[in-house]
Structure 1
Amino acid sequence: MASKKVLIACDSAKSLIDFRGKLVELMRREHTVYAFIPAIPPEQRAKLALLNIVLFENNLNGSNVSILSDLKYALKLYRLIKQLKPDVFFPYTLKPVIYGTLAAKLGDVRKITPMLSGLGYNFVNGNTSLTSKITRLLLKFSLKNRQGLSVIFQNKDDVQTLLDSKIISAKHQTAVVNGSGVDLSYYTPTRPDINNISFIMVSRLINAKGIREYFEAAQIVFLKHPQVTFKLIGSYDDNVDAIHPDLFSEIKHRSVINYLGAVDDVRPYISSSSVVVLPSYYREGIPRCLLEAMAMARAIITCDSVGCRETVETSPNSNGFLIPVKNTAELVQKMEYFITNKEAISSFGLNGLALAKEKFDVHKVNAMMMQIMDLN
């Protein structure tokens, strides 16, 4: 097929490398790829160079609300689209989707494939803030249907939410893919230590990810099982839903949790842990940390919430537990199940690995992405 020009827009260099690196490699075999991303940290520049794509930087802050900054971002992106004249425009994460889809329509891009990799904090039940209302209005305006627009989701719940909210209609062309996928040759299985049990949570430190629930559960479990250890990996971001500084201080200095901050490679930390925990109600797409856990043959405990529930299968091939959101007592109970049923850690982990191979292999996900974008 003829080579095409593909323009990607996202909210961080790290997400482009970690979540879309394999997709970009696949695109680059036949097509020219450009990316419009926020200022590239020095430690990411060499990794991005390996992708061999053309980069354009901007000053977007994906987490904060700034009308002037957002307008400057949208205008710069529109000018870039007019300059490059891409055949396919692929924005993902909320602000690039909203402003990028509008800019691409104004720039007469033939194929526009915005991906909503989770609806995030603005769609959490009970969030009636002005920011949430404005976000929903902007998203509806941006995603107004037209020929060549295909909206990509990572779970069916998000499709239904936007239909119920009348942000999209039944006439929209939509597709659901199994998250970002996971590279099974990079995240390889290891045998969990079931004699020295440890739990790990990998997440940004925001409320809707369930940080407080993990903190409280760890304190309770430790009182009964002082031999068990608890780890937490993730950055403390400047985010509208960031945990309170007092809770952050408690976690770092006065809790049983070993807080390890942000790390470049989670594999050794997952490998040295028995069970991966994510009590999130964030409106995830499909949480990447759970896919990585499954690929490494780890049992998981997560919430029966949007995106998270996609990663857990029940008997006879159970790979983890789904608990109600904001339910510390239930999280404690499931942690104690693994402490008192050590062999289940291994069997659940192997079931998770089988599920990762079946549904979440990055090559299967990317093949579908290429088809949606008319790139294969």
Structure 2
Amino acid sequence: MASRIRGRRYRRQWRSTAYGPTAALHFGASPSMTKIMVVCNDSDYFLRHRLPIVLGLVERGAEVTVMTGGKAIPGSVPRGWSAIHIPIDRFTVHPIRDCALMIRSFSKIVTLKPDAIHLITLKPAVFVGIAAVLARLPSGAAGRILITIPGLGRLMSPSAADQSWVARASRLLVGRVIRFLSARSGICFTFETSHDRNLWLDEGLIREDNSTTISGAGVDPGRFHPGPPRQEKGPIRILFASRLLRSKGLDVFIGVARRFSQNPNLQFLVAGMVEPHDSDGVAPRELECEGSITFLGEVADMPKLLQSVDLVCLPTRYGEGIPRILIEAAACGVACLGTDIEGCREIIVDGVTGYLLPAGEKAAMVETICNAITGYLADPGLLDRHGKAGHRLFLSRDFSEEAVVGRFLALLTDV
């Protein structure tokens, strides 16, 4: 009986105080949340991008359990919350493994009985989302479910319609599950761009009153800020920093670097995470043997690296949200080159904070970037002007960690 009463208490519709992509969504008055579960498909992504949300919840007295795929979270991370490792296949829809994920998640939810669940990225949204809805029946757990879609990725972006029949079938399955979840009470969706939100609204997957946009994962301006002017004149340092994927534009960046390999006034740097199981990944050994670039591997001190470069280049063809590297670059006052897609346009104002690159074939994108870099070589002061304009844009928008985390905490705890 107690569980049924508790279930009724929390099964309320998300309500909106305003309509549109920045609507403030919340429940009516309710008891403070004490147990919250966070589920993310990859531990590295969680620690790099979403940990501040958990730390904010802990500071407010919540008991937080984090469940991630990828590598097991090390014991050296800041605590006050508990971590559970669970196998999550990030790259494909696999019926047996995904059903196992749903069953394990259901068991954990029924056992822990969280008051709220935050599902980050598409795989947890679909399979753990179903488990969370089913877990309401026996336990009354998870009265509210917050689903965060950082970007539509390769599966759900518009270009996915041209993929194989397996990808199209997976897309259809995911769409039906999202529509099912959206029809349930107490479920809210967040996106990083209004473009992604509007796509799902147009397809009828979500509703106006249970979805909103939050700009990125948040960047701490106390760490990411412009550094002192460089004392020595040297080559223009151009950085690609992202996952080591061709779809992120790494192949295009290397093509540009090869074109300028004999120019002593340019230096091309690559920093990023290895994706050993992604068929689209570029192996580190390939980059280490590439004479036109300097491969840095994974970099722990990104603020220091960004303060040492002049230009960030992300010729992505991926289904991005707002690329974090572009937000970090703007916070550090670094000019940017990025593909002319919605997420990049949130940071890059063409000709003001950098240049937007028309999406196209690899050769065409290489040519466009080479022309932009040639322009910077002809007018080195333009890099400084674009970088300063990018920093002003960062300060004028809600890209800070404090602003972003505050919005997530409000959705999860109804403050």
Q: Same fold (TM over 0.5)?
A: yes
Q: 1:213 aligns with which of 241, 252, 257?
A: 252
- 1:333 to 2:363 alignment: no
Q: Deviations over 1:304-355 (max 9, x none)?
A: 013122111246xx21111112411111111222222211212211221222
Distance 2:32 2:274 in 1: 45
Per the TM alignment, residue 241 of structure 1 is displaced from its structure 2 partner at its CA by: 4.6
Q: Which residue of 2 aligns with 1:69?
A: 97
- 1:350 to 2:350 alignment: no
Query: What secondary structure is seen at the aligned counterpart in 2 of 1:121?
Result: helix
Q: 1:306 aligns with which of 336, 342, 358?
A: 342
Pairwise mapping of residues 1-376 of structure 1 onto structure 2 (< 5 A)?
Answer: 2-30=32-60, 31-38=62-69, 40-41=71-72, 44-47=74-77, 50-108=78-136, 109-122=142-155, 123=157, 125=159, 127-143=162-178, 144=180, 145-166=183-204, 168-170=205-207, 173-191=210-228, 193=230, 195-223=234-262, 225-243=263-281, 251-314=287-350, 318-326=352-360, 327-359=365-397, 360-376=399-415
Query: What secondary structure is seen at the aligned counterpart in 1 of 2:269?
Result: strand
Per the TM alignment, residue 268 of structure 1 is displaced from its structure 2 partner at its CA by: 2.8
Distance 2:408 2:386 in 1: 29
The answer as to whether partners of 1:180 and 1:362 remain within 8 angstroms in 2 is yes
The answer as to whether partners of 2:65 and 2:83 remain within 8 angstroms in 1 is yes
Per the TM alignment, residue 70 of structure 1 is displaced from its structure 2 partner at its CA by: 1.8
* TM-score normalised to structure 2 length: 0.82
Distance 2:166 2:69 in 1: 22
Range moving further from structure 2, 13-22 or 286-295: 13-22
**Unaligned 5+ residue runs, structure 2?**
1-30, 137-141
The answer as to whether partners of 1:298 and 1:352 remain within 8 angstroms in 2 is yes
Query: What secondary structure is seen at the aligned counterpart in 2 of 1:222?
Result: coil
The residue type paired with residue 277 of structure 1 is C
Q: Which residue of 1 aligns with 2:11?
A: none
Q: Deviations over 1:183-217 (max 9, x none)?
A: 11122321464643110100112121111111111
Structure with higher Rg: it is: 2
**Unaligned 5+ residue runs, structure 1?**
none
The answer as to whether partners of 2:33 and 2:413 remain within 8 angstroms in 1 is no
Query: What secondary structure is seen at the aligned counterpart in 2 of 1:33?
Result: strand
Q: Deviations over 1:147-173 (max 9, x none)?
A: 11111100011112223444x144561
The residue type paired with residue 216 of structure 2 is G
Work out the percentage of aligned pairs sharing the same amino acid.
23
CA 116–192 in structure 1, closer or farther in 2 if over 3 Å, else same: farther
The answer as to whether partners of 1:232 and 1:261 remain within 8 angstroms in 2 is yes
The residue type paired with residue 256 of structure 1 is S
Query: What secondary structure is seen at the aligned counterpart in 2 of 1:181?
Result: coil
Distance 2:117 2:165 in 1: 29
CA 251–344 in structure 1, closer or farther in 2 if over 3 Å, else same: same
Distance 2:226 2:42 in 1: 28
Query: What secondary structure is seen at the aligned counterpart in 2 of 1:300?
Result: strand
Per the TM alignment, residue 135 of structure 1 is displaced from its structure 2 partner at its CA by: 3.2
Q: How many residues align?
A: 367
Per the TM alignment, residue 39 of structure 1 is displaced from its structure 2 partner at its CA by: 5.7
* TM-score normalised to structure 1 length: 0.90
Per the TM alignment, residue 96 of structure 1 is displaced from its structure 2 partner at its CA by: 1.0
Distance 2:225 2:63 in 1: 31
Query: What secondary structure is seen at the aligned counterpart in 2 of 1:230?
Result: strand
The residue type paired with residue 322 of structure 1 is L
Per the TM alignment, residue 51 of structure 1 is displaced from its structure 2 partner at its CA by: 3.5
